[in-house]
Copies of this chain bind each other. A is one copy, B any other.
Amino acid sequence: MPDDTFSLILFSGTDDKLHAGAVMAVGAAAMGRPVNIFLQYWALDAFRDDRVHKDHGVAPEAGDDGARAVIDQQATTHWIELFEQAKDIGEVTINACAESMELLGITPEDLHPAVDGVWGVARFFMEAGDGATFI
């Protein structure tokens, strides 16, 4: 259990939070920290290979201006590209939560190639450092 691992649980499936999570993954990887990403629920759903590039909406408080800004942001650099960049520059792994896979009827073949594998939650905690950031 490396002390400085940045553990990131992605739960939310909106483009604003996925982008925020991706920026954090890049930032932590750039600082030389291992990054341990775990996909649950609606974030996992967004990592289906055929859904990555659809419009996933934003938090309700964004308003129309905020929603448009995020759509433009995704058109420039999509969050999936940022996760791929993070994997290129550092020790970054992305694993799907086994329970959420079953919940949503998703099989490993459905997932984007950036996803490395499927983990149970106990395995995630084995690899996590002290804290886990939940988005």
Contact = CB atoms under 8 A, between A and B. Distances in A.
Given A20-B41, A66-B45, A104-B69, A132 B133 contact: yes
A66 B42 contact: yes
A45 to B, nearest CB: 7
Interface string A1-41: 00110110101111011001001101110110100000011
A125 B13 contact: no
Interface residues of A, number: 51
A135 B13 CA distance: 14
A56 interface: yes
Interface of A: 3-4, 6-7, 9, 11-14, 16-17, 20, 23-24, 26-28, 30-31, 33, 40-42, 45, 56-57, 59-62, 66, 69-70, 73, 99, 103-105, 120-122, 124-126, 129-135
